[in-house]
Structure 1
């Protein structure tokens, strides 16, 4: 059965409870032996087949009891409440790892998840300023997180770090920032 053609382009934010640089990206153990965090996207352009996804947002809150590659993760998918029924179905299908090749980012993450919680549909406030290297994602009753530039411990000046993973499945180049706070709410 052929895959449905889809594409998402936009701003991507990922914060977790680990030290700078996310050890999981380097196949290492999470800083605190468990990985807890979030990922969100503000879709500037996108489609799933003929379903337009531009202007929508999605997020996920996740937990792994150890390194990601050991599996047994839990994820809570969150979809923009503005999405209609077809858009909700499309975004949940993409986030589930379906309709994509085995090595695609969502397929890889979902192969490491053993528990998917019931999706939530909520307003997602997303602020993103790449030039200032700051971002914030707020989902009332579920999540509030922000990231800002890492500060040089001596001068206090912003300390810019880029990670380059030429064969990365999630990204090839990423800007590293400091999660100034990450708070999950609503029992998650």
Structure 2
């Protein structure tokens, strides 16, 4: 199976800004007892085994131990309801790691797949604000951070050289809204917590 995807992503978790999981390559303890994180992706352009998956969205929710590298992750996958059956199957293979690529590197850490759902996913990039709504389950908005000394129009702060499946350079952001209910029995409000955004280019 040959595939390639390009697009943008956002991430929101329950750690403080900036989360130790990201800056330690998953080896430092999270700020709280569990690490709960949502990754959301908008595919600007993509092809999976000759199936066009452009303009489709995917979200991945992870509930992991405090030290993420220990494994035992519980993972839920949400695929855009606007995808047809072939597109949904293709995206499911890529974002579950079955098709290789960056997500395959995380597969050994997964202890339980909570489920895969096809739901309405609304993903938006609006300047320094990025947002996603995943059905009735997850509602997130994040804002890229700027050092106050530079003023509102200053450069966005970034982390570089990261060990991260999406990109080695991540924008430092904060969740201005991060709420969920009914995520396989989980509800949360991580507003004010850690967030990231970045473009991604994957292939396999």
**Interval containing the TM-score (normalised by the shorter chain):** 0.7 to 0.9
Q: Give the structure 2 partner of residue 140 of structure 1.
A: 135
After TM superposition, the structure 1 = structure 2 runs for residues 62-73 of structure 1, keeping only pairs within 5 Å, are 62-73=62-73
TM-score (norm 2): 0.80
Q: Distance in 2 between matches of 1:185 and 1:167?
A: 30
8 Å contact kept, 1:149–1:159: no
Q: Identify unmatched segments of 5+ residues in structure 1.
A: none
1:47 aligned residue = 47
Could you list the structure 1 runs, at least 4 aligned residues long, displaced by more than 2 angstroms after superposition. Answer: 149-160, 166-170
Structure 2: which 5+ runs fail to align? 187-204
* Residue from 167, 170, 181 that aligns with 2:177: 181
Aligned to 1:127: 124
Taking only aligned residues, the RMSD between alpha carbons, in angstroms, comes to: 2.1
Higher relative contact order (CA 8 A, sep 6+): 2
Number of aligned residue pairs: give it.
Answer: 180
8 Å CA contact retained: 1:40, 1:137:
yes
Give the 3-state SS of the residue equivalent to 1:37 in structure 2: strand
Higher strand share: 2
1:49, distance to aligned residue in structure 2 (A): 0.9
TM-score, normalising length from structure 1? 0.86
